[in-house]
Structure 1
Amino acid sequence: MDRTISFFSAEASGPGLADLAGLLCGHGQIAGFGRTAARLSVVVDEPWRARALAGECRRRGADAQVGTADCGHPQVRTAFRVDLLPLASRWLRSGCTGPAEDDSGKAVPDGFRLSGAMLRMWALAGGRQGGSAYLLALDPLAPGTHARLAAALAPLGVPARLLGPKADTPAVRVTGRRRLESLLELIGEPPSGAEAAWPETVPARRAG
């Protein structure tokens, strides 16, 4: 499919460590080691997600290993690194003034803005088809982040809604042909194995 690259898309600029904030939009966790280093980790539900995320981390200079979490699911984890401290300082409660009534220690940083690269990381970690919609998983241990993350999608031209309280897992829901096309343009092409979990655009209705 021919696409015009958006200024905000994952392909528009070179990869950087700031892109890893996309993991924290979902289930990702960041932990500090005093004030000397920080480690980023995320548990995913499929091996292809772990492989893809480890590759994305390495592209950004953060060597990441794939292992198995205590729950038995694949886990991607970096070593403790000095260059991850800025990410930790922005996303841990001490660096945020927003609500943090949760068990994860995370809060969305003040003035946070999503990029296409962050959104790609989020989709790799926890994006999936949901009928005619696309769902981006949220961290159930960080309910205070949900509304702010849903709102952060709107400036990218992908307004989304939170799933209702009866949903099995918290997520933001993107619907509509144009919004799904914008989302796909932002996150780029799927890596190998991710095709079934990548956004699909809804065909336009024919007149008459």
Structure 2
Amino acid sequence: MEETVDLRDYFGIVKKRFWIIALITIISVVVSGVISFFMLSPVYEAKSTLIVNTEKNEETQMITGDQFSVTQKLAVTYGEIIKSRTVLDEVIQNLKLDDKYEGLVNNVTVSPVKDTQIISISVQDTNKEKARDIANEIPKVFKKEAERITKANDIQVIDKAILPQSPIGPNKKMNMALAAVIGGMIGLFVVFFIEYLDNKLKTPQDIEKHLGLPILGVIPNEKLER
């Protein structure tokens, strides 16, 4: 006998043990909230920007297209120099930080601004003053190293990093919303897994469905008064 799948069966399974899904979802959201609000430290981000200039054409006193293209490629190269061990180790030494290179490099993001000669340096840290100081110290060290390595002749700071006022993370609402989704999915898995393990025949329809036997009669489950 071919077995058909009815969506109402699935809705029935969910409805019967919906309290399990709700409980797991609530626990997930509460745990996420406790971690986000009381255990995770706020993360601050400080930014500074640099501009990589190039020599102008001596005849026209203007930057040619080729020179501009080369400068943009240099901006990518400079980004790798900024995150190099030589630069960041000196930053650590100058600011007397307890960080190691492997830890600091993960907190530094260097992004060449598209179609410009500008480089953006972002530093994230749980200490806002520390993030600002690192974002301002990196350009100083980098400029010296760029002149030594690539013979760069004109690198200027556009904006110095200022003290960030508001943290960028953790995103508490997003964490709790994500926890609710994951909790609901885990709850559904648990409910269907319990249903899969439950192989009892509870209704006459279960006998017909799973054993393929016709129902001849049903004995009512009633308490007879004597």
TM-score, with length taken from structure 2: 0.22
Kindly indicate whether structure 1 or structure 2 has the higher relative contact order, using CA contacts under 8 Å at least 6 residues apart: 2
Q: Which one has the largest radius of gyration?
A: 2
The structure with the greater share of residues assigned to helix is 2
TM-score, with length taken from structure 1: 0.23
